Amino acid sequence: MFPRMFDYLIDHPAGSPEFHAELRGAADALTTGEADAVANMANLAALIWQLVPDLNWAGFYRVQGDTLVLGPFCGRPACIRIPMGRGVCGAAAASGTSQLVEDVHAFPGHIACDAASRSELVVPVIVDGQVIAVIDLDSPLPGRFTPADQDGFEALAALIASRIREM
């Protein structure tokens, strides 16, 4: 089998329902038939980085016991381990609910892996009722993420959950 090249472009405004539907379609095409969780997370991080504007970090943290461990990402080097419940990522993982933060400096206990980050969206990836990972998106722009982005990335997380589960 020869490697496939992927080149995706989205013709809809970022954050729109159509944008997020096309992003999910690209993610589905990119991960369908691939069983390796790390490969899928790596390609998904790159896809998000390529298509979602105004990011300075996009990637995954994986749940390992009571800790989140850095997974594949695009951006500057990041914190490797985050205790469950700590910071925006830890809050999303512990609660099983997305965290949309307009100003990270106003979030109690925010962990500043990149001082340039001003807003953040963290979406848990859930399989069989358990959080297995989080999708973490950071932006240097305050208020970058909207409720429509949250809805779109929650739908993406549901789509790819079984494809990033480590066996």
| Dist CA 107 CA 102 (whole Å) | 9
Q: Is residue 4 part of a domain?
A: no
Task: For residue range 45-78, list pLDDT tens digits in order.
Answer: 999 999 999 999 999 999 999 999 999 999 999 9
DSSP state letters, the chain: -PPPP------S-TTSHHHHHHHHHHHHHHHTT---HHHHHHHHHHHHHHHSSS-SEEEEEEEETTEEEEEEEEES---SEEETTSHHHHHHHHHTS-EEES-GGGSTT---SSTT--EEEEEEEEETTEEEEEEEEEESSTT---HHHHHHHHHHHHHHGGGS---
pLDDT score recorded for residue 2: 42
Query: Which pLDDT band holds residue 13 (cuts at 50, 70, 90)?
Result: confident
Query: Which pLDDT band holds residue 131 (cuts at 50, 70, 90)?
Result: very high
* Range(s) of the domain holding residue 28: 17-163
- Segment 142-165 mean pLDDT: 96
Given a cut of 80, whether residue 10 has pLDDT beyond it is no
Q: Is residue 61 part of a domain?
A: yes
List residues bridging with 81 in a β-sheet: 69
pLDDT score recorded for residue 143: 96
Q: Is residue 10 part of a domain?
A: no
Q: Is residue 3 part of a domain?
A: no
Q: Is residue 9 part of a domain?
A: no
pTM over 0.85: yes
Domain CATH code at residue 82: 3.30.450.40
Given a cut of 70, whether residue 30 has pLDDT beyond it is yes
Task: For residue range 85-100, list pLDDT tens digits in order.
Answer: 999 999 999 999 999 9
Given a cut of 60, whether residue 32 has pLDDT beyond it is yes
Q: ∠ CA(97), CA(89), CA(13), 5° rounding? A: 75
Given a cut of 70, whether residue 36 has pLDDT beyond it is yes
What domain count does the chain have? 1
Q: Is residue 85 part of a domain?
A: yes
